[in-house]
Structure 1
Amino acid sequence: MSALLDHHRLHYLHEAIRLGSVRAAAEALDINASVISRQIALLEKELGLTLVERLSRGIRATAAGALLAERFRQWQADQADTVAKLRELQGLKRGHVDIVLGEGFVSDLMSGPLGRFWQCHPDLTMAFDLAGTNEVVNAVAEDRYHIGLVFNPSADPRIRIATASRQPLCAIAPPDHALTRLGRPLRLRELADHPLGLMHASYGTRQIVALAEAAEHIALAPKLTTSSINVLRHFVKSGLGLTLLPAFSIAADLADGSLAAIPIDSRLLSSSEACVITRRGRELPHAASHLLRFLSGQMKAFKGGEAARRAGIGAAAR
C-alpha cells in the first residue's frame, strides 16, 4: 500500500464497515469511537472521496469505501500467507490450515485421507467448520478460510475451483425399499409420491433439486427440511421417507449396506459437482497448498467422476 493509504485508518474503516457502525468497531478494537470517526474522516479528506454514509443508526459503505475495505481484507490475508511462507523457508515444520466444508464431506475426509495426511505431517494443525454451500463460498471469498469443500456452488467470480468431480444426486432409500428393486434409474417425478427429507435452500443439493423441479415442471413437497445430512440419514434409516444426496456423502452407509443409492434420470441432477475452492488470486501457504492437493487426490468425493482443473466458477465453466 502507498504511504497515502495509512494502515491504521484502513483498519478502522474496514472494521466500521464490517460491523456496520463506528461504535461497534470501537468496542471490537477497544478504542474510543471518536478516534475511529476522526481517522476515517482524515482518510476521506486525503483521498477526496466519501467512504461511508452516516445513517441514523450506523454507517454504510460507499462504492469507494467498500473497495478499500475489501482490498484491506485481502491485504491482511496475503500478509498472513506471506509470513507463513517465510516461516517455511526458515525450515519450520509447523503450520495451520483453516477449512470450511459441507457436512457431506466429513465422513469421506475422516475415513482415511485426514489420518494419512497427518501421518506425513504430524505437527500441522487444522480448524474445520461446517457450513451451507452459500456460506462456504462467502467464507472462502472473504479469506476467513484457506480452503472450502463444497457441493455444486453457484457462479462467483471471487472463487477459483482447484478440483471438481462429477457427483450425481441419487435417491437415498433403505436397502429393502420397493424402488431399489426396479432395476433402472428413477424419474424425479416418481419421488413426488414418497415422503421426502431435503436440505435447506442455502445448500447445493437443494438448489440443484429446485432447478430440476423447474425443468421438469414438478414440485416436490418435503416432509422434512433440515441443515443436517446426519438427520436425513436417520430419517431414511428409520423408514420415515427418502432423501436426495450424492453417494459420497453416505459412503459408510453404502459400504455397510444400511442405505442404498438409486440413480435418477435427470440431466441436471447428474451434472452436480463436488468442488475444492480457494479465493481467486490468493497464494496459499505451503501447508494449505499441500493439503489441497492431497485431499483432491485422496477423497472419494473427488475420485468418482470427471475431475478437472478450473480457472473459476462461472457460466463458461458450466
Structure 2
Amino acid sequence: MSAVLLDHHRLQYLHEAVRLGSVRAAAEALDINASVVSRQIALLEKELGLSLIERLSRGIRATEAGALLVERFRKWEADQADTVAKLRELQGLKRGHVDIVLGEGFVSDLMSGPLGRFWLRHPDLTMAFDLAGTNEVVNAVAEDRYHIGLVFNPSADPRIRVATASRQPLCAILPPGHALAGLNRPLRLHELVDHPLGLMHPSYGTRQILAMAEAAERIALAPKLTTSSINVLRHFVKSGLGLTLLPAFSIAADLADGSLAAIPIDNRLLSSSEACVITRRGRELPHAAGQLLRFLSGQMRAFRAGEPAAKMKPRATRR
C-alpha cells in the first residue's frame, strides 16, 4: 500500500457511523447529509484499498480495518486535547477541565467533602460529571470520552488501567430495626432468599458480582424491584418494602444518620469486591486530570480500604 495521508474529516465520519451504528445516525449527529458521510467513507476505503464497514439489514458495523481506524481516531482526538491542555499549562494558565464518568454510588461520597476541598485548591478548574453503569463507565473511559472513571468492581479489560482500587464489600442494606439487623453477625446469602429484594440492573458491578456469588452458592435471588438508581433502592428499603445489596460507602449519609444499616455478607466473592478509579491504558492525563485523580484516590471514603462507614456492623468472617 502506497503512503496515504488520512483525512481527519473522513475518519470522523467513519468514527461516528461505527459509534452510532448507521450512516444516517452519523449524519444527524454531524448535521450533514447522509450521502456526504457515505461518500466520504467510500473515498477513504478507495484510498486504502480496504473495506472499512459492513452494511447490515439494520445499520453498519466496522470491519477489522475499520475498527482499527476508529480506535486510532479516538486516541488521536484524546491525545490532541491532552496536548493542548499541557501547552496551556506551560503558558502558566491555571484553568483546566476534567470529564468524569461514575457510578451513582460514588456521588454522595464525592460531594460530601472531597470535591469541595479540591475546588478550594483549584477554584478555576471546571468539571463535567456523567452517571453510568459499570459496563458503560469502562467503555466510555476506554473510548476516551472521559478522562477518569469511578466504578464498582469492573471486569478485567485490557483497554483500561486501574489507578486505584480499594476493597469495598457488598453488604445487605436494611432498616436498623429489621430482624436480620438484630442477629449481630454477618449474614449468609441464602438468608436473603425469602425477603423481597431491590437490585441494580445486570450491567452494574453490584449485580454482576452478586450473580457470581449466587452461582457459587447454588441459590437464586429473585428481585422484586430492578432499577438503575441507588436512590430508588434507598427509598425502597427506607419505605419498608424490602432489602438491597450495596457497598456501604454508597449510602454513607444514611448510615451516619442511622436511617439504614449495612450488614456484611459471609461470602468470599462479596467480601472481595472493589471500588476503582480507572483511566484508559496508555493515556497520559493532562495535569488537572492527574491532580484530581490523585486527590480523589486519597480523599474519598470509597478508596480508603478498611475504613468502616458509620454504623456498619462487624465485617464478615472469612471462610
| TM value normalised by structure 2 | 0.91
Aligned counterpart, 2:26: 25
User: Which structure 1 residue ranges, 4+ long, deviate > 6 Å from structure 2?
Assistant: none
CA distance in 1 between counterparts of 2:7 and 2:59 reads 23
User: Residue 275 of structure 2 aligns to which amino acid in structure 1?
Assistant: A
Q: Give the aligned partner of residue 119 of structure 2.
A: 118
1:68 corresponds to: 69
Which stretch of structure 1 is more off in the superposition, 24-33 or 164-173?
Answer: 24-33
**CA displacement at 1:173 relative to structure 2:** 1.2
Q: 1:179 to 1:135 in 2, by over 3 A?
A: same
Query: In the alignment, residue 301 of structure 1 is paired with which amino acid?
Result: A
The residue type paired with residue 22 of structure 1 is: V
Name the SS of the counterpart of 1:262 in structure 2: strand
Task: Kindly state the Cα deviation for residue 192 of structure 1 after the two structures are TM-superposed.
Answer: 0.9
Instruction: State the partner residue of 1:5.
Output: 6
- Matches of 1:300 and 1:241, distance apart in 2: 26
Q: Which residue of 1 aligns with 2:100?
A: 99
Aligned to 1:314: none
Does structure 2 conserve the Cα–Cα contact (< 8 Å) formed by 1:4 and 1:46? Answer: no
Note closer, same or farther for the CA distance 1:290–1:45 as it changes in structure 2 (3 Å cut).
Answer: same
State the 1:19 CA deviation. 2.9
Quote the residue 1:157 is aligned against.
Answer: 158
| Residue identity opposite 2:251 in structure 1 | I
Letter in 1 for 2:13: Y
| Matching of residues 286-301 of structure 1 within 5 Å | 286-301=287-302
Q: Is the 8 A contact 2:198 2:244 kept in 1?
A: yes
Distance 1:30 1:222, change over 3 A: closer
Instruction: Kindly state the Cα deviation for residue 159 of structure 1 after the two structures are TM-superposed.
Output: 0.9
Superposition deviation, residue 95 in structure 1? 0.7
**1:302 alignment partner in structure 2:** 303
Matches of 2:175 and 2:33, distance apart in 1: 61
Residue in structure 1 matched with residue 310 of structure 2 by the alignment:
none
Alignment check: 8 A CA contact 1:107 1:251 kept = yes
- Which moves more between the two structures, 175-184 or 269-278? 175-184
Three-state SS of the structure 1 residue aligned to 2:176 is: coil
> How many angstroms apart in 2 are the aligned matches of 1:26 and 1:268?
46
Note closer, same or farther for the CA distance 1:190–1:284 as it changes in structure 2 (3 Å cut).
Answer: same
Distance 2:225 2:33 in 1: 49
After TM superposition, the structure 1 = structure 2 runs for residues 249-264 of structure 1, keeping only pairs within 5 Å, are 249-264=250-265
Q: CA deviation at 1:60?
A: 2.6
Counterpart residue number, 1:185: 186
Give the conservation status (yes or no) of the 8 Å contact 1:194–1:242.
Answer: yes
Identity of aligned residues (%): 90
* Code of the aligned partner of 2:16: E
Question: What amino acid does structure 2 have at the position aligned with 1:192?
Answer: V
Deviation of 1:273 after TM superposition, in Å, equals 0.2
CA change 1:97–1:184 in 2 (3 A) is same
Q: Which moved more, 1:37-46 or 1:82-91?
A: 37-46
Greater mean alpha carbon deviation, residues 91-100 or residues 20-29: 20-29
In the other structure, the counterpart of 1:205 is: 206
Q: Report how far residue 55 of structure 1 moved.
A: 4.2
* 2:139 partner SS: helix
Helix, strand or coil: the match of 1:243? strand
* CA RMSD in angstroms, aligned pairs only: 1.7
> 5+ unaligned residues in a row in structure 2: which ranges?
308-319
Aligned equivalents of 1:232 and 1:20: distance in 2? 33
Residue range with higher mean Cα deviation, 18-27 or 190-199: 18-27
Cα separation, 1, equivalents of 2:205 and 2:78: 27
Matched, 1:53 2:54: yes
Q: 1:284 to 1:192 in 2, by over 3 A?
A: same
Aligned counterparts of 1:32 and 1:240: Cα–Cα separation in 2? 52
Q: Cα distance 1:258–1:59, how it changes in 2: closer, same or farther (>3 A)?
A: closer
Q: Give the whole-Å Cα distance in 1 for the aligned partners of 2:24 and 2:199.
A: 41
Q: Secondary structure at the match of 2:244?
A: strand
**Structure 1 Cα separation of the partners of residues 274 and 26 of structure 2:** 39
Q: Distance in 1 between matches of 2:92 and 2:173?
A: 48
- Distance in 2 (CA, whole Å) between partners of 1:200 and 1:3 is 46
Q: Distance in 2 between matches of 1:265 and 1:53?
A: 49
Tell me which residue corresponds to 1:316: none
Alpha-carbon contact 2:4-2:47 (below 8 Å) kept:
no
Matched with 2:280 is 279
Residue 85 (structure 2) pairs with residue 81 (structure 1): no
Taking the aligned partners of 2:56 and 2:219, their CA distance within structure 1 comes to 45
TM-score, normalised to structure 1, is 0.91
**1:34–1:173: structure 2 CA closer, same or farther, 3 Å change rule?**
closer
Give the corresponding residue for 1:134: 135
In the TM superposition, residue 302 of structure 1 has moved relative to its aligned partner by 0.3
Relative distance call for 1:199 and 1:303 in structure 2 (3 A) is same
Structure 1 equivalent of residue 222 of structure 2 = 221
